Amino acid sequence: MESDPQKFRPRAAIAMARCFPPFMSTILDERLEALFQTVVKRNPGETEFHQAVREVFESLGPVLVKHPEFGTHKIIERICEPERQIIFRVPWQDDSGQVRINRGFRVQFNSALGPFKGGLRFHPSVYLGIVKFLGFEQIFKNALTGLPIGGAKGGADFNPKGCSDGEIMRFCQSFMTALHRNLGEYTDVPAGDTGVGTREIGYLFGQYKRLTDRYESGVITGKGLDWGGAKVRKEATGYGTVFFLQEMLAARKDSVEGKVCIVSGAGNVAIYAIEKLQQLGGKVVACSDSNGFIHDKKGLDLALIKQLKEVERRRIADYARHHKRARYTAGGSIWSVPCEVALPCATQNELNGKDASRLLRNGCLAVAEGANMPVTPEGVRVFLDAGIAYGPGKAANAGGVVTSALEMQQNASRDSWGFEFTETRLAEIMRGIHASCYQTAEEFGAPGNYVHGANIAGFIRVARAMLALGLV
């Protein structure tokens, strides 16, 4: 094996695994509790998957009362079981000629609404439980977009950090050689996620093209702009998160203008969330990477961050060398920085209950998740109890997959749209997602609760389609 995945799991996740299940704090109704226990039993050790399932179940009680047909047809049981799971060996050679072996995954979770759709994550922490939590979330996220896309996720326990370009290429080629038979523009359409950007998508697509002898643009999204990619795809998740935040604030007669903001992470999502916040007049004072965070009271210099992360592939610590006024804290928590708006854009379970309480004490009034499940269940509870604007990832970070679906539309019609047109479409769809979560939360007696709104609205759309398609 490449590495020990446990070593890379965030502290909160490890604690969760040890004293499982501390997140069973809220009561489920009897039937959903029994179903949850079955999921835990059938999927042992997959703590992140259990967490994601439980969070959705916590919203479903009233849905089963209103729609008894979902119970009769065992929609919940079916939704928790992936349609197909593929686990495969990825052998490759490093630059010294040594043979290396990784494990690849693709979990094709649900195709009731369209072809399987969801990203690939290359990170040493990847194991089946992570891929399944991400795939499960993706079903509802994709449903919320209103676009015809099912839910899937994949990846490998491969650590791209420190790899040469040639090593990345050989890894991607081997990964695609194993997976290509299971993909297709009408079957399953991967994209990027942590550790998979345009470079990796290029190598994956190139190998698919070579193996199939087809220029099937719609088989993968996040492509480069010269070879079938969509404008705004790179910016989409970060921009979309801020569009969702804007809507949550507007519903409270407030706006981003003048707000002090912090954004965790320094990858694609974080960088473009910072960009959009700044465009809307927000003052972003901190961001981070897995080593530490920088705090710049005057506001972050985004051009420098882009240069360090996108061009030079360096660590965020280097920022402080260029700006003397900025303070770098190694290992500390970015959530200690006072702010009004916090966007967790790094990884799952990066913000726990204590962090949430600290943010509130420091005056935080809005949180939108750019990453998938970055706030622990205790953290979510703290935000919901306080009644601040809290946008869960499956709604707030849907902008990435929305723009992937727009890329598929362009590929299907052999077209290429302009930046402004694409961004306008993205903004419209994010507004639609917000409206649907907001209205659904009201309809189900939980006004302002976007967790219930997102879970219920996403679930109902998939459940209806599953009923319509019969027992498949």
Which residues would be at the binding site for ligand GLU (CB under 6 A)?
Answer: 117-119, 141, 191, 193, 221, 372, 400-401, 404
Query: Closer to ligand GLU at the Cβ: 55 or 193?
Result: 193
Rounded distance, CA 108 to CA 188, Å? Answer: 8
Residue with nearest beta carbon to ligand GLU: 119
Fill in the DSSP letter of residue 257: T
- Considering the complex, what minimum distance in angstroms separates the CB of residue 238 from ligand GLU? 12
Q: Are 195 and 122 in contact (CB under 8 A)?
A: yes
Query: Closer to ligand GLU at the Cβ: 119 or 453?
Result: 119
Query: Closer to ligand GLU at the Cβ: 348 or 404?
Result: 404
User: Which residues lie across from 118 on neighbouring strands?
Assistant: 190
Query: Closer to ligand GLU at the Cβ: 108 or 404?
Result: 404
Cis ω on the peptide bond leading into residue 160 (within 30° of 0)? no
Q: Which amino acid appears at position 284 of this protein?
A: V
Is 153 an active-site residue?
Answer: yes
- Considering the complex, what minimum distance in angstroms separates the CB of residue 157 from ligand GLU? 17
φ, ψ (nearest 5 deg) of residue 130: -70, -45
Query: Closer to ligand GLU at the Cβ: 188 or 296?
Result: 188
Rounded distance, CA 214 to CA 177, Å? Answer: 15
- Considering the complex, what minimum distance in angstroms separates the CB of residue 401 from ligand GLU? 4
Query: Which region holds residue 228: left if phi is over 0, alpha if psi is between -120 and 50, else beta?
Result: left
Q: Are 56 and 151 in contact (CB under 8 A)?
A: no
DSSP strand pairing (283-289 vs 292-295): antiparallel
- Considering the complex, what minimum distance in angstroms separates the CB of residue 231 from ligand GLU? 15
Query: Closer to ligand GLU at the Cβ: 341 or 405?
Result: 405
Handedness of CA 114, 183, 56, 233 (dihedral sign): negative
- Considering the complex, what minimum distance in angstroms separates the CB of residue 140 from ligand GLU? 11
Nearest in space to 7 (alpha carbons), one of 288, 200, 290: 290
Residues 153, 231, 283, 394: which is the catalytic one? Answer: 153
Q: Are 150 and 110 in contact (CB under 8 A)?
A: yes
Which residues lie closer than 8 Å to 460 by C-beta, 6 or more apart? 63, 67, 440
- Considering the complex, what minimum distance in angstroms separates the CB of residue 404 from ligand GLU? 3
- Considering the complex, what minimum distance in angstroms separates the CB of residue 400 from ligand GLU? 4
Dihedral angle over CA of 61, 381, 118, 345, nearest 10: 170
User: Which residues lie across from 327 on neighbouring strands?
Assistant: 295
Rounded distance, CA 28 to CA 53, Å? Answer: 12
End-to-end CA distance of the chain: 36
Rounded distance, CA 432 to CA 145, Å? Answer: 8
Rounded distance, CA 273 to CA 278, Å? Answer: 9
Query: Closer to ligand GLU at the Cβ: 117 or 170?
Result: 117
- Considering the complex, what minimum distance in angstroms separates the CB of residue 315 from ligand GLU? 23
Query: Closer to ligand GLU at the Cβ: 202 or 282?
Result: 202
**Which DSSP string corresponds to 16-47?**
HHHT--TTTTSPPPHHHHHHHHHHHHHSTT-H
How many beta carbons lie within 10 A of that of residue 25, not counting itself?
12
* Active-site residue list: 153
